[in-house]
Amino acid sequence: MVNSLRQKDHKSAVCIIPPRPVWDAIQEIRLFNDKGFVRWPPHINLLYPFYEDTGATFQECAETAAQALSSVQPFKVSLSELQFFDHGRSCTLWLDPGGSELSQLQESLVQAFPECTDLSHDPSRNIARFAGHMSLGQWSSAEAVQSAQKKFQDSWKGLSFTVDRVCLISRAGFLDPYIIRHTVGLGKGLSSAVTEVNVPYIATIGPHSPSTDGLGAAFGIGALQEESVWYFAFGANMTAKKLTESRGIKPFEATNGFLPGWRLAFNHKGGMGNIMEGTHGAGQASKTGQPGNGVHGVLHRMRALDLARLTHMEHEYRPTEIEVDADDGKRKIRAVAFISPPEMLINEGLPPPDRYLKLLQSGAHEANLDQEYTAWLDDMACVPNKERGDDYYTAPDGTKVKGRKRFWTGGDTVDSYGKRQSSRGRGSRGGRRAGRGGRSSGRRQNHNGNGS
């Protein structure tokens, strides 16, 4: 039994996390719409806030949960309908998991942890029942969220997965990504249900190659890297001046990497760098002159928190899982690279801005990249930064490419590196007290939209 004097904490939760192979459709919506994207994995919160993760608390809690759930059998969740909560000043779009099994699961956990009723019974916020949901993002008004609801519902193909475990997750600080600390299986009994995992969530999107140990298949690239993650830099972040001095990120180690079958392009808004899969098409080789059949860069191994910070900074790119050949020729490393989404692309063939190209050239020399590749960068034409014309902000279809605002949590302040840090006890959007919840009709309901 968990000590009743334990403190609850908005940096801890018990939740359902879907298996990694079904994330992508969810992450596609969350990427540019959910303030919690870099910190929260796709999830359905069951108990939140949960007990503070100190000492042996989580191990004890996992064992208590296992006993409570030993008679709860696995069940299937189908995510087919999009709903929204109206908080007054903002709205949250979410997927409805429905089903009585989910409510029964949550009730079993509440019986084991009777102080953790925030999501099912909290008169101070007019919460009288549990409304399980998987958050997709936040919009500024009912009109905006209704438009998004229709847009995504029309293209949503639906997905389902089997709930066979719950996850106990926590984070050290309010900007840290959550770590999956323990999982508790359903219907397996106390002796075999609890698994200590300690895998950080790494916010990624796109193709995924699950690991053979099972953890990668469940939780993504973080499962392969334990307390750190590899990032593949092909642009300005190759140089320490940009990554460490300017952005305050100090990797544990770095090694050169090669991404075969890809090419470097300067077709991101403003003429910035991007990598594209596939060999050069007809006529492209003569335009770019890129040697070889791949992109050279630097692999940095860093904290999950630093990659989350970097994802905030590279907010117009998609953090995508790729497989990179290490410089020693003996390893293939699963890494994250920032790749331009279609809506950020301009026509290829424009010379990059001079200030940006200089950083790439410096990084290539600093890392001693492939000589031919480095020489290609050194000989590349460029344009003065201030002389970039409209073509640098025009999509191939002739429309204007619009920039994206960074997402920041309301409690963030600026640290010594100019990056935002949390100033008080708030988490992602789910960690703050939101307004009353609402369903897709837009009418106010007596439920809070916490937990995203």
Q: Using an 8 Å Cβ cutoff, are 12 and 53 in contact? A: yes
Q: Using an 8 Å Cβ cutoff, are 12 and 169 in contact? A: yes
Q: Using an 8 Å Cβ cutoff, are 309 and 249 in contact? A: yes
Q: Using an 8 Å Cβ cutoff, are 411 and 431 in contact? A: no
* Domain 8-226 sits in CATH 3.90.1140.10: yes
Q: Environment class of residue 334 by beta-carbon count within 10 Å: exposed (0-12), middle (13-18) or buried (19+)?
A: buried
Calculated CA dihedral for residues 290, 293, 297, 299, nearest 10 degrees? 170
- Quick one: CATH architecture of 228-393? Roll (3.10)
- Compute φ and ψ for 160, nearest 5 degrees: -145, 155
User: Where do you find CATH 3.90.1140.10 in the chain?
Assistant: 8-226
Can you give the pTM of this predicted structure?
A: 0.85
**Per the structure block, which two tokens stand in for 163?**
């709930």
User: Where do you find CATH 3.10.490.10 in the chain?
Assistant: 228-393
pLDDT tens string, the chain, 452 residues long: the values are 555 568 999 999 999 999 888 899 999 999 999 999 999 999 999 999 999 999 999 999 999 999 999 999 999 999 999 999 998 889 999 999 988 999 999 999 999 999 999 998 877 777 778 999 999 999 999 999 999 999 999 999 999 999 999 999 999 988 899 999 999 999 865 556 899 988 889 999 876 555 444 555 567 676 555 578 999 999 999 998 899 999 999 999 999 999 999 999 999 999 999 999 886 544 444 345 788 789 999 999 999 999 999 999 999 999 999 999 998 778 899 899 999 999 999 999 999 999 999 999 999 999 999 999 999 999 999 999 999 999 999 999 999 999 887 765 443 433 433 444 443 333 333 333 333 233 333 333 333 333 32
